[in-house]
Amino acid sequence: MIAETLISTAIIPLQTSDTGEVALEMMSEFYVRHLPIVNNRELLGVLSEDDVLNFDINEPIGSYSLSLQRPYVHHDDHIYEVMRLVADMDLSVIPVVDADNNYLGVVTLEDLLRYFARTVSFADSGSIIVLELSRRDYSMTEISRIVESEGATLLSSFITSYPESERIDVTLKVNLQHIHNILATFERFKYEIKASFNEAEYLDSLKERYQGLMSYLNV
């Protein structure tokens, strides 16, 4: 699963000519505390509610003296990279850009949690490993053997392919929280590890922030 599959185009980005009051109204309407600022498909940054409240809400946001965060993910980034950025940067939305860094839309914290609530083995604690390899080198038999050789159980897996590319991502969910030995074994067998996550740690963090946001908004 990649970022572009969860893009929401319903959330309208801000422009520098919008006032702080407009920004606050849009955040309230969309149940978020952050909105991207975009001019002509160029992502300028992400504005937070706290940013607006530190300035005159009647002034255009383009006049604010801000050191804007400019977090984003590319459209083909793995969904676990989206999860990592949202959790680490305490965001309610994360902008998505294309290969030329043109703005495409956002992934919201709410949509991210909905996705993970639907995934296989969501109820089972564990960790995620994302391998990148060529199609011709893919062997689930060998991958399973490596996981099991380190005393772990493979709970689920899925493959993400990319148009006009021989490369694929293989996402694995294993039942262990500590996966250093598994990662080391994959590296020993010359596998390229694209990402690894302690799923419970990130999901718990996202859930807490979403619940906090909903409580703040009295939803």
Q: In Å, how far are 41, 128, 129, 146, 147 from 184, measured between CA atoms?
A: 41, 15, 12, 10, 11
Q: Report the interhelical angle of 79-89 vs 199-216 (nearest 10°).
A: 60
User: pLDDT tens across 29-62, in order?
Assistant: 998 999 999 999 999 999 999 999 999 999 999 9
Average confidence (pLDDT) over 14-27: 96
Q: In Å, how far are 23, 25, 33, 218 from 30, measured between CA atoms?
A: 11, 9, 9, 13
CATH number of 127-198: 3.30.70.260
CATH topology of domain 3-117: CBS-domain (3.10.580)
- By CB atoms closer than 10 A (0-12, 13-18, 19+), residue 60 is middle
Q: What is the pTM of this model?
A: 0.67
Residue at 94: amino acid letter = I
Residue at 47: amino acid letter = L
Residue at 110: amino acid letter = E
- Rounded percentage of the chain residues whose pLDDT exceeds 70: 85
Answer whether residue 143 shows pLDDT above 90.
yes
Cβ 154 vs Cβ 144: under 8 Å: yes
Q: What pLDDT is attached to residue 131?
A: 93
What average pLDDT does the structure give for the chain? 85
Percent of the chain as helix, strand, coil, to the nearest 5: 40, 30, 30
Q: What pLDDT is attached to residue 210?
A: 64
Q: What pLDDT is attached to residue 205?
A: 63
32 vs 161, more confident? 32
Q: What pLDDT is attached to residue 1?
A: 67
Question: What is d(CA 94, CA 3) in angstroms, rounded to the nearest whole number?
Answer: 10
Q: What pLDDT is attached to residue 148?
A: 96
Q: What pLDDT is attached to residue 120?
A: 46
Q: Give the residue from 93, 92, 108, 113 showing the smallest Cα distance to 213.
A: 92
User: pLDDT tens across 174-202, in order?
Assistant: 999 889 999 999 999 999 998 887 766 66
User: pLDDT tens across 80-122, in order?
Assistant: 778 878 878 888 999 999 989 999 999 998 888 777 766 545 5
Cβ 57 vs Cβ 20: under 8 Å: yes
- Rounded percentage of the chain residues whose pLDDT exceeds 90: 50
Q: What pLDDT is attached to residue 155?
A: 87
Question: What is d(CA 170, CA 181) in angstroms, rounded to the nearest whole number?
Answer: 18
Domain residue ranges in the chain = 3-117, 127-198
Q: What pLDDT is attached to residue 42?
A: 93
Residues in the chain: 219
